[in-house]
Amino acid sequence: MLRENIFLKIISKTIPVTIIHEDSECLAFNDINPQAPVHILIIPKKEIRTHADLTPEDSSLMGHLHMVATKIAKEMGLEKGYRLVLNCNESGGQTVPHIHMHLLGGRNLGWPPG
């Protein structure tokens, strides 16, 4: 088991959040420090520390996270566009040791990011 972190506490419902989507594989909720009008985090319930720790067995789960992002983007009216971000490790901007996807939208997102 990985170290306890805020996402594990959210999954176990010991920290309350506004849930946007939940199913047996993942949970999606509003980011507490939004970087865009729409900023939703999509996290797997399976403990995976970073993107670099994915295994071939996680392919279906990662595909599911992307399909959930597509569903949420449609529900949020992001037909003009949105961005999906996966940060990996500290130098890549990852601050919580649990893989997660950022869904950002609701404004023009410039390039390059960060």
Residue 59 Ramachandran class (φ > 0 left, ψ -120 to 50 alpha, else beta)? alpha
Domain annotation covers residue 112: no
- pLDDT confidence of 3, banded at 50, 70, 90? low
- Looking at residue 27, which CATH number applies to its domain? 3.30.428.10
Domain annotation covers residue 74: yes
Domain range enclosing 79: 6-105
Residue 2, pLDDT > 80, answer no
Domain annotation covers residue 83: yes
What is the number of domains present in the chain? 1
Domain annotation covers residue 78: yes
**The CA-based dihedral angle spanning residues 112, 28, 98, 44, taken in that order and rounded to the nearest 10 degrees:** -120
State pLDDT tens for residues 38-55. 999 999 999 999 999 999
pTM recorded for the entire structure: 0.94
Helix (DSSP H) and strand (DSSP E) numbers for the chain: 2, 5
Just list the catalytic residues: 100
State pLDDT tens for residues 74-99. 999 999 999 999 999 999 999 999 99
